[in-house]
Amino acid sequence: MQEIKTDLLVIGAGSGGLSVAAGAVQMGASVVLLEGHKMGGDCLNFGCVPSKALIASGKAAYAQSHAAQYGVANVTPDVDYAAAKDHVADVIAQIEPVDSQERFEGLGVRVIREFGEFISPKQVKAGDHLITARRVVIATGSSPFVPPIPGLDTVPYDTNETIFDLREKPDHLLIIGGGPIGMEMAQAHRRLGCDVTVIEGAKVLGQDDPELAQVVIDQFKAEGIGIEESAMASEIRGKAGAIEVEAKDGRIFKGTHLLMAVGRKANTDRLNLDAAGIETTKRGIKVDTSMRTTNRRVYAIGDVAGGLQFTHMAGYHAGLIIRQALLGLPAKERTDHVPWATYTDPEIAHVGLTEEAARKEHGGNLDVVRFHYTHNDRAIAERKTDGLIKVMVVRGRPVGASIAGAQAGELINLWAFILANGFKMKHVANMVAPYPTLGEINKRVAGAYFSPKLFDNPMVKRVVGFVQRWLP
């Protein structure tokens, strides 16, 4: 057994762990990084990167069959599903070097390709290595949650960890789960020529603002994607190429392939957390607002910490750890400024409080201001007028923003910046946006907030009238 002593041990080479390791080693700390599976973690290999690449393939196919509105003849796209997957693999390959073992070893990180297991509150075993670290960061991420539905163990199914390896185009893809993963994959596969049915036990996009979710649902139905809500799966049966999902209410859905997309579970099984005195919850590892576990030497970040499950959240957590473990400075997590987006077409994005949450928290002090894409000239020019933005405002200060429409994931960045820095609507109104851009939507919604205060205010009109009488 080889013994290693280090300043910082990072368990997991996903986005959060890599960010901590890179930052720490470049600031002068000795760092050991453990990864028993793939460098880059879920985001690079099975999540954000491959899904967005497949979505891009779907958009290209959809554009060919919906070009007539631009004066270009529609054509039926000749989709090569296997080639689309080659595109996905190529995108991953282009990004891989940034997350590679070679790059991190070049930075000075000692990379050990083994899973880590606590054997005491201060020591971790990884293969034939015994590691003692001043601080430990657990960044092991999450995996697909597969519920124990009767019959599921007898039929072939995919998760986000296997769907991108599928080479033969499904004739009819059944997707259990109408959250972001399920909905993104539903639209991508429909545009690549598959029949698709989404089976959701409650409401699709149930964590999103219902008004905005409806914008996406309407588009899905227009594209021929089956949306089956309140359809809790009770039994699955069949074989490869002929699968049936039966809901508790008796509805039966038939398809050739099955994708399970019902949620995520924290990766804690291999860690032997009890040996380190680290407590867990139903969602993951128990942490305080500083991301510290019940073992004060150990932090947990990203999905495994049981909070918001976004790659950018793990990156944010990494910054908190660098501040504390490397610089000895206090740092506490906040989530009110963290945006999230679902990359359907149209996209849907949020930051801060939704309208429902804001009404509960702020009551009569809340103003909800809206602006529709139909009034944006760039959206009109590009035939992308389905969508709206709404901003929740309390005494002139935004407390949340929600967008459904083209490039919502890009437009939400401004509101994340506003909320992170405590700015007000006047700061957005003062911005000059280039014309014509979708970005004008953000400025116009600020204008919609101030317009009633200026144009429908009798006092303003009296002041203007007085000034006009006295001006030379």
Q: Which residues carry a binding-site annotation for NAD(+)?
A: 177-184, 200, 263
Please state, as a whole number, how many other Cβ atoms lie within 10 Å of the Cβ of residue 345.
Answer: 20
Question: Which residue, among 373, 410, 407, 367, has the nearest Cα to 389 in the 3D structure?
Answer: 373
Please state, as a whole number, how many other Cβ atoms lie within 10 Å of the Cβ of residue 143.
Answer: 17
Q: In angstroms, what CA-CA distances link 472 with 10, 163, 166, 167, 467?
A: 72, 74, 77, 77, 10
Show the 3-state SS of 240-265. Answer: CCEEEEEECCCCEEEECEEEECCCEE
Dist CA 389 CA 369 (whole Å): 8
Instruction: Identify whether the C-beta of residue 277 lies closer than 8 Å to the C-beta of residue 295.
Output: yes
Q: In angstroms, what CA-CA distances link 356 with 204, 349, 365, 393?
A: 17, 15, 14, 13
Q: Could you tell me how far CA 158 lies from the centroid of its own chain?
A: 20
Positions at the binding site: 52, 116, 140-142, 177-184, 200, 263, 303
Hey, what amino acid is at 301? I
Positions at the binding site for FAD: 52, 116, 140-142, 303
Sheet of 366-372: strand order equals 340-342, 347-352, 397-405, 388-394, 366-372
> Beta strands 172-176 and 195-199: pairing type?
parallel
Instruction: Identify whether the C-beta of residue 38 lies closer than 8 Å to the C-beta of residue 164.
Output: no
